[in-house]
Structure 1
Amino acid sequence: MSPAITVLETTHKKRQNLSSSAQDIVIVGNPQMPKLAPSPGEEPKPLAPLHYAEKEAIEIAKMFNTSALIGSNATESTVVERLKTARIIHFATHGFVDNIQPLNSGVALTPGGSEDGLLTADEIFDLKLNAELVVLSACDTGLGQLTGDGMIGLSRSFLNAGVPSLVMSLWAVNDRTTSQLMIQFYQNLQTTPNKAQALRQAMLTMKNQYPDPYYWAAFTLIGEAE
């Protein structure tokens, strides 16, 4: 069975089992960045702050009459706890990919105590989520090893955790233009329940302003559109 068919079957089953009690909207933006080694054997260095990602998170949170988890508030423990009751989850932060060990891929959060601030695919894999949509507004988060059983990496982990619809990037993205694209995407979702249409329209809007596909074509929807 092809990976695409496997993903579609999995996400359809997940959507049928979603809990109606999931009402929280979790928006994470520009946490206090953790340290990450640029390459194996090198000294870990703090990831660069993403100022437009912070603005993005704040603007999207306003649409849902909630507050974004920003800076020191975006700790790994706080975010993971909130994920359990979330209907929509949005990460506007750095993503990182380990193509040798895909389950070490993840998203950057605020470190604290014994937490390294790196929420990995391995940690996400066994979570029990009830979210109908997860958006990874981050760099490289769609790049995982493709196998017969589906993508190994963040995408597969979120699907296994119960998420039927996932929006993620296929290459490193620009902080400023990604912020604009994501705000437009959520504005479109206010008028259409179809996530694929909302994303496509956001891309077309951005294309008018930025003709180079680098700025608007990175994101894709995995799973169910509605």
Structure 2
Amino acid sequence: MKLLAIVAHPDDAAIFCGGTLAKHAERGDHVTVAHMTRGEYGGLGSDTEEDVATVRTEESRAAGDVLGVDEVEFLGFKDGRVEYSLENRLALVDTLRKYDPDVVLTHFKDDMHPDHQATARLVTDAYYMASLPLVETDFEPCDPDNIYFFGKPTSSFEAETFVDISGYLDTKIGALEQHVSQIDFLIDHGGIDAEFDNLVDSLRAEGMTLGKRVGCEAAEGFAPLHEQARDFLMD
């Protein structure tokens, strides 16, 4: 099985689906994390955008190593400036075709961050277009089985599919902790995104709460575009 997570920013994979990525990677599935941006706006004002992006790229690769993923890619979009356009939709079609995944993970459409909103729409529409032979890009058409959306408690996101990440919660937290530059940044922005106060503790508590909801030690929740899954996103 091949799994592709397309996330807007370098720390999004660990925050939203790190346990699931680690579980699939350990099973032997091919796991790729593609970042729309290098997160160059995620600084406290003392560094240039390029300095921030360089640090966050390194942090993302370190987090990928912790999760055990096969590939970490950056798609070249600008942080805070991801826009919906035909050109960008075709770029995402090409990304899907390049990796030919069975399952795609990405952001839920209802989200405070405009990059998350744009990413959700681009990936969803690219998913539809990726299989069409007359849509010409650099790679051959592909036909992923499903998209699973992850979301934030500040949105209308409601999980329907839960992945048991018992035994992987510490790995998820370990991956998040590689994003050293963002821990203080996100805490500093707690007034904007309240769930980012005490981020590590909050994510651990959220995982355990979702686990209790579905009868396991820890879980991550997703909303599928269609159909349902159980233990893994797809067996």
Shorter-chain TM-score above 0.5: no
TM-score (norm 2): 0.32
* TM-score w.r.t. length of structure 1: 0.33
Higher strand share: 1
| Greater helix fraction, Structure 1 or Structure 2 | 2
